């Protein structure tokens, strides 16, 4: 296992432990709701956004416990978006991270409540002293013409904003000066677009076993994506350019940002 993969796995395990603590099992009448929240949040995944939080927090000497709480909150917020995206009224998906989606494992009403509760809990954790406009446009992308500017704006709202916060959260906790935070936000901007382009490519080229979810849905739904606008090869080239730009934004941090550089390369090389 490479040093980068080991670091990702170690931080993912720490985030999972923190999620376990923040989402305890409840032996009460509402226990089924907590079970659904835990099912969705602890179902695996790359934990990329929490990884960004923890790594940037480490760059500014933030206490590990604070960084992990913020990282877990980001993962809860991200999981809320996945649970609601998968609902029949949205993407109507049956598989997420290689297992049945929350509404398939439980029921639609429970999944809605679980997503709402994860969103609320994430804000509670972020606001604790111890420590989605985008989806609407995404639905419209299936029915209205969209150019490159519109698709880029869509992905900044739907994917980019949370990645941006994930990159900046550690700097906020570490009271970093604004210029350094701006470097991280610029990095996150290009990273988020590269991540989405790779997602679009994988939706076309990937398979269910590797992806852990349905593929080729964008094309079948007529959704405008970076790949449909640019073509496969130009989309790959654009993702590579964005990764180089993202890495260049980290020059101000010297060797401390090496893991973030590896994240940028990872997002365009991943298979799921």
Those residues with Cβ within 8 angstroms of residue 232's Cβ, 6 or more apart along the chain or in another chain: 201, 204, 205
Those residues with Cβ within 8 angstroms of residue 221's Cβ, 6 or more apart along the chain or in another chain: 142
69-104 per-position pLDDT tens digit: 999 999 999 999 999 999 999 999 999 988 999 999
Measured distance CA(118)–CA(50) in Å, rounded: 15
**Average pLDDT rounded to a whole number, residues 29-57:** 93
* pLDDT score recorded for residue 133: 44
Is the domain 3-269 a CATH 3.30.210.10 member? no
The answer to whether 51 and 263 have CB atoms below 8 angstroms apart is yes
**Average pLDDT rounded to a whole number, residues 210-231:** 77
Measured distance CA(89)–CA(115) in Å, rounded: 14
By C-alpha distance, which of 195, 219, 189 is closest to 270?
195
Computed from CA positions of residues 86, 240, 12, 130, in that sequence, does the dihedral angle turn out positive or negative?
Answer: negative
* pLDDT score recorded for residue 98: 86
> What does the CA dihedral 188, 191, 197, 202 come to, rounded to 10 degrees?
-120
Rounded (5°) CA angle 97-47-195: 85
> What mean pLDDT is reported for the chain?
89
* pLDDT score recorded for residue 135: 46
Measured distance CA(71)–CA(52) in Å, rounded: 8
**Average pLDDT rounded to a whole number, residues 186-196:** 94
Q: How long a stretch of residues is the chain?
A: 272
**Average pLDDT rounded to a whole number, residues 217-245:** 86
Weakest-pLDDT range from 49-58, 135-144, 200-209, 221-230: 135-144
* pLDDT score recorded for residue 210: 74
**Average pLDDT rounded to a whole number, residues 50-54:** 96
117-168 per-position pLDDT tens digit: 999 999 999 988 777 344 455 655 666 667 888 878 877 776 788 899 999 9
Those residues with Cβ within 8 angstroms of residue 144's Cβ, 6 or more apart along the chain or in another chain: none
**Average pLDDT rounded to a whole number, residues 204-215:** 76
**Average pLDDT rounded to a whole number, residues 243-254:** 96
Report the predicted TM-score, pTM, of the whole model to 2 decimal places.
0.82
For the chain, percent of residues with pLDDT exceeding 70? 92
Q: DSSP label at 252?
A: G
Helices within 23-147 (DSSP H only): 31-41, 48-59, 64-85, 102-105, 108-127, 133-140
Choose between 31 and 141: higher pLDDT.
31
- Whole-angstrom Cα Rg for the chain: 18
The answer to whether 21 and 225 have CB atoms below 8 angstroms apart is no
Measured distance CA(236)–CA(42) in Å, rounded: 31
The answer to whether 150 and 39 have CB atoms below 8 angstroms apart is no
Choose between 256 and 214: higher pLDDT.
256
Choose between 190 and 212: higher pLDDT.
190
């Amino acid at each position: 296992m490479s040093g980068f993969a080991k670091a990702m796995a170690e931080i993912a395990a720490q985030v999972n432990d923190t999620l376990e603590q923040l989402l305890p099992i409840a032996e009460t009448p509402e226990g089924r709701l907590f079970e659904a929240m835990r099912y969705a949040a602890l179902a695996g995944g790359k934990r990329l956004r929490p990884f960004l939080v923890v790594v940037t927090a480490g760059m500014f000497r933030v206490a590990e416990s604070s960084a992990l709480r913020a990282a877990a909150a980001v993962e809860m917020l991200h999981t809320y978006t996945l649970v609601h995206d998968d609902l029949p009224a949205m993407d109507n998906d049956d598989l997420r991270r290689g297992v049945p989606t929350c509404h398939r494992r439980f029921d639609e009403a429970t999944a809605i409540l679980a997503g709402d509760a994860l969103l609320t809990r994430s804000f509670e954790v972020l606001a604790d002293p111890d420590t989605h406009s985008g989806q609407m446009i995404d639905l419209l992308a299936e029915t209205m013409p969209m150019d490159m500017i519109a698709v880029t704006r869509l992905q900044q709202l739907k994917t980019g904003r949370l990645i941006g916060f994930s990159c900046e959260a550690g700097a906020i906790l570490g009271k970093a000066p604004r210029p350094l935070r701006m470097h991280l936000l610029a990095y996150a901007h290009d990273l988020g677009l590269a991540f989405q382009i790779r997602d679009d490519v994988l939706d076309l080229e990937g398979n269910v076993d590797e992806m852990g979810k349905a593929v080729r849905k964008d094309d079948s739904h007529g959704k405008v994506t970076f790949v449909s606008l640019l073509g496969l090869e130009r989309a790959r080239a654009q993702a590579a350019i964005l990764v180089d730009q993202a890495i260049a934004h980290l020059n101000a941090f010297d060797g401390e940002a090496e893991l973030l550089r590896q994240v940028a390369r990872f997002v365009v090389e991943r298979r799921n």
